[in-house]
A and B are shown apart, each in its own frame.
Chain A
Amino acid sequence: MPAVELVGITKRFGDVVANDGIDLSIETGEIHAVVGENGAGKSTLMSVMYGVHQPDAGHVLRDGVRLRMRSPADAIAAGLGMVHQRLRLFPGLTVAENVVIGAEPTRRGVLDTAAASREVERLGELYGLRADPAARVGTLPVGVRQRVEILRALYRRARVLILDEPTAVLTPGEAARLFEVLRGVTGEGVSVVLVTHKLGEVLAASNRVTVLRGGRVTGRFATAETTAQELVVAMIGRSLAPRPLAPPGERAAGPYLLEVENVRVRGGEGPARVGGVSFGVRRGEIVGIAGVAGSGQRELLDVVTGLRTPDEGRVLLAGAPVRRGRDPRVAYVPEDRPGRATAPTMSLADNLLMGGQRERRFSRAAVRERARALVERFGVRAASLDEPISVLSGGNAQKAVLARELSGDRPLVVVEEPTQGVDVGAQEQIHALLAQARDEGRAVLLQSSELSELRALADRILVMFEGAIVAELSAEEAGEDRLGAAMTGAAG
């Protein structure tokens, strides 16, 4: 009998069918990977399994018994535990408090902190998940925090662990360590549901795979009997020819348009976020920036775009210093779409205007005219220019941001995570736009955590680790293995 079985799950959000009659069964003691592109319905399915969303049709069985799921509390009671992609920990509380909260040991009504600490240590030893019970979670590295969240689930006697994109925030070394832990856990009879879009992990760590596309199951495989190629076909519906996304143009020559000289950014406390970084980008080339999240990329790009003043060093654009605040010669597509790249409550037209509001005489008609032209030229699909931009899909919102930034005559293009939260179709268009910017003779600086994206687009890749550039690889040299090694500081 499967440990958990999802039967005919259908879940709609408005007109969007996120899950469409999905069946999924998880055996006891297996690692079951659930894969699919962004928007395939993985997260929704997990939310249904964990009681966050109630399905419009279908039900969940646990050891063959149908569950009544009104909230995560019911899932927890049934022995399910979830490790979210964005960890659900309390930074101000200790490890022990984080583990026991919601099911605290007490003695005569008072919290039994000693018992909580003992329990954390016992579980840590049993499953190989060491963490100091008295440490404040806010001070711990992310890999350890993730362990705390797993400990919490196990403390609550979870027999089925759901992990949502667990390696997104981890270094390759931490990821390897995580998979060791997961194998240890399954050895104790716990089942693991591993949600991911990274095929390498799937093939390395799982026993079985279920593939989702467009809210439906498009493939079920035993890992040992499948190949990456087969999984890709199931995921995207066609074979992924090694598409020459952007034929690396003739090697760009000539002087650097962007020159970054010995830039240093200090953090609030601790070591410098960016420690003495120098590089250059020429017209007509795309330079990629790789690195585990938090290696200093964000701070470096803030300096390059002029949003942040470096503590040391300087940034030159065509020989002149980058202007503080925001340099009009820089097109910049930030990663944080709702927080920085757009004002979600403002209209699409107003969002398309930012930066150009003082270019010509301001009038409502001119604003709309400009917006209409951009929407047409960049193929942004929107019902109305006057609706808030937040009603657009991720892909269309991102195209709107690119339209705004690429429309003017800005020689430097800085892009962070251009395809995050974007559907496959829009991804291709966005890649084409970046390649086009390069071909127009602009200098493009591309930061991405998708190594495949960097390899497909970049002429050169700079790898950052702990605030420094530790490697520079040409497009031909940049295999996943060499990139991965450099990203962990094992300079290659």
Chain B
Amino acid sequence: MNVVDLALVSATLTASAPVVFAALGGLLCQTAGVFNMALEGQLLWGAFSGVLFSHLTGSAWLGVVGAVVTTAVYALALSVPAVAFRADPVVVAVGVNLLALGLTAFLMRVLLGAGGVYTSPDLPGLPTFAKLGLDVPVLGPQSPLVPLAPLLVAVTAWWLARTRSGLRLRGVGGHPEAALSLGLGADRYRHVAVLGAGALCGLGGAQLALGNVTLFSEGMSAGRGWVAVVAVMLGGAWPWPVLAACLLFGAAEAFGFRLQGLGLPQQAADAAPYVITLLALVVAAATRGRRRLLEAS
């Protein structure tokens, strides 16, 4: 194995980490019976708030904390209408995504005084393992949040299978009336799932804006939230298959980036993740049959 291949592996991990966080949030909501299509907007908010708090506090880690907390709060914009008021989650999500786009662009101009892109040499980004003294291939150039992503997938898999609250979450999503007749109100679990997804999107957004790069640009989530939605569908809301789907997209993005370096027009690289996502969905749906795919959605 030569160095180029290892670099590609490393780039895949970097590219997939934000998607993994968002998809894990989508998975939680799916398990609880809420179709969360607002991951894109929450990821964007996570990226913005990460940069904002990093800028305000001078610490990238406090930026991460700020992103996690405020994105969870931002998720109330989905959970209150969709869970408490029983509004159509898809329509609410359309609004929540648009709101995130407007809010981040507006606040960037008002609070950070920048239009389009905000970056500054004074903006602290997350350290890499190399900087922390662990200069090994693959992991070296990553921020600590990157390995946290698959770790959280493992924790989630265990939690869903082996704990009381995990079992109840699965039950609540599978048959809310049944849960109610046992005295388990579905709403509480759903609120927690949606807010948890918000917190995870906060992590994903912070990794995107403070780990992958150190800047915020308008609409920088660039469809990763949608890729996460599709990853949940592809993985049937099971943790490990969802992780696998996310890694596939990460690899596609890393590969596209490399091809761009070889002279492929930028527009092709822009379109590639969407086209590959759609193709994967088509192939999965065709081989798996439409029923199971619909169950997941």
Spell out A's residues near B (CB within 8 Å).
Answer: 50, 52, 71-73, 76, 82, 84, 88-93, 97, 101-102, 104, 106, 109-111, 152, 268
Report A398 CB to chain B, min CB distance, Å. Answer: 25
Q: Given A110-B163, A111-B167, A268-B291, is A89 in contact with B182 using a C-beta cutoff of 8 Å?
A: no
* CA–CA, A71 and B163, complex, Å: 25
Report B201 CB to chain A, min CB distance, Å. Answer: 26
Q: Given A104-B164, A110-B162, A111-B163, is A93 in contact with B170 using a C-beta cutoff of 8 Å?
A: yes
Q: Which of B163, B177, B185 contacts A88 (CB 8 A)?
A: B177
**B295 — nearest CB in chain A belongs to which residue?**
A92
Report B175 CB to chain A, min CB distance, Å. Answer: 5
A104 lies within 8 A of B174 (CB): no
Q: Given A76-B182, A111-B162, is A88 in contact with B175 using a C-beta cutoff of 8 Å?
A: yes
**A50 — nearest CB in chain B belongs to which residue?**
B181
A72 lies within 8 A of B167 (CB): no
Contacts of A110 in B (CB 8 A): 162-163
Q: Given A93-B174, A111-B162, is A88 in contact with B167 using a C-beta cutoff of 8 Å?
A: no
A90 lies within 8 A of B162 (CB): no
Report B33 CB to chain A, min CB distance, Å. Answer: 11
Interface size bucket, B side? 20 to 34
Contacts of A71 in B (CB 8 A): 183, 185
* CA–CA, A487 and B165, complex, Å: 43
A101 lies within 8 A of B174 (CB): no
Q: Which 4 pairs across A and B sit closest by C-beta, in order of nearness?
A: A73-B183, A88-B178, A102-B182, A90-B174
Contacts of B140 in A (CB 8 A): none
Report B15 CB to chain A, min CB distance, Å. Answer: 32
Report A157 CB to chain B, min CB distance, Å. Answer: 14
Contacts of B164 in A (CB 8 A): 104, 106, 109, 111
Report B27 CB to chain A, min CB distance, Å. Answer: 14
* CA–CA, A111 and B158, complex, Å: 11
B168 lies within 8 A of A102 (CB): yes
22 contacts between A and B (CB under 8 A): A50-B181, A71-B185, A72-B181, A88-B177, A88-B182, A89-B178, A90-B170, A90-B171, A90-B178, A91-B174, A97-B171, A101-B168, A101-B171, A101-B184, A102-B168, A104-B164, A111-B162, A111-B164, A111-B167, A152-B182, A268-B289, A268-B291
Spell out B's residues near A (CB within 8 Å).
Answer: 162-164, 167-168, 170-171, 174-175, 177-185, 289, 291
Contacts of B174 in A (CB 8 A): 90-93
Contacts of A52 in B (CB 8 A): 181
Report B173 CB to chain A, min CB distance, Å. Answer: 9
Contacts of A90 in B (CB 8 A): 170-171, 174-175, 178
* CA–CA, A92 and B167, complex, Å: 11
Report B91 CB to chain A, min CB distance, Å. Answer: 16
Q: Given A72-B182, A88-B178, A88-B182, is A104 in contact with B167 using a C-beta cutoff of 8 Å?
A: yes
Report B176 CB to chain A, min CB distance, Å. Answer: 10
Report B181 CB to chain A, min CB distance, Å. Answer: 5
A97 lies within 8 A of B167 (CB): yes
Contacts of B291 in A (CB 8 A): 268
* CA–CA, A81 and B297, complex, Å: 33
| Residue among B163, B179, B181, B184 with max Cβ neighbours from chain A (10 Å) | B181
A92 lies within 8 A of B170 (CB): yes
Contacts of B183 in A (CB 8 A): 71-73, 76, 102
Contacts of B182 in A (CB 8 A): 72, 76, 88, 101-102, 152
**A74 — nearest CB in chain B belongs to which residue?**
B183
* CA–CA, A220 and B185, complex, Å: 36
* CA–CA, A72 and B179, complex, Å: 10
* CA–CA, A110 and B167, complex, Å: 11
Q: Given A72-B180, A101-B168, A268-B291, is A89 in contact with B175 using a C-beta cutoff of 8 Å?
A: yes
* CA–CA, A82 and B180, complex, Å: 12
**B291 — nearest CB in chain A belongs to which residue?**
A268
Contacts of A72 in B (CB 8 A): 180-183
A82 lies within 8 A of B181 (CB): yes
Report B287 CB to chain A, min CB distance, Å. Answer: 15
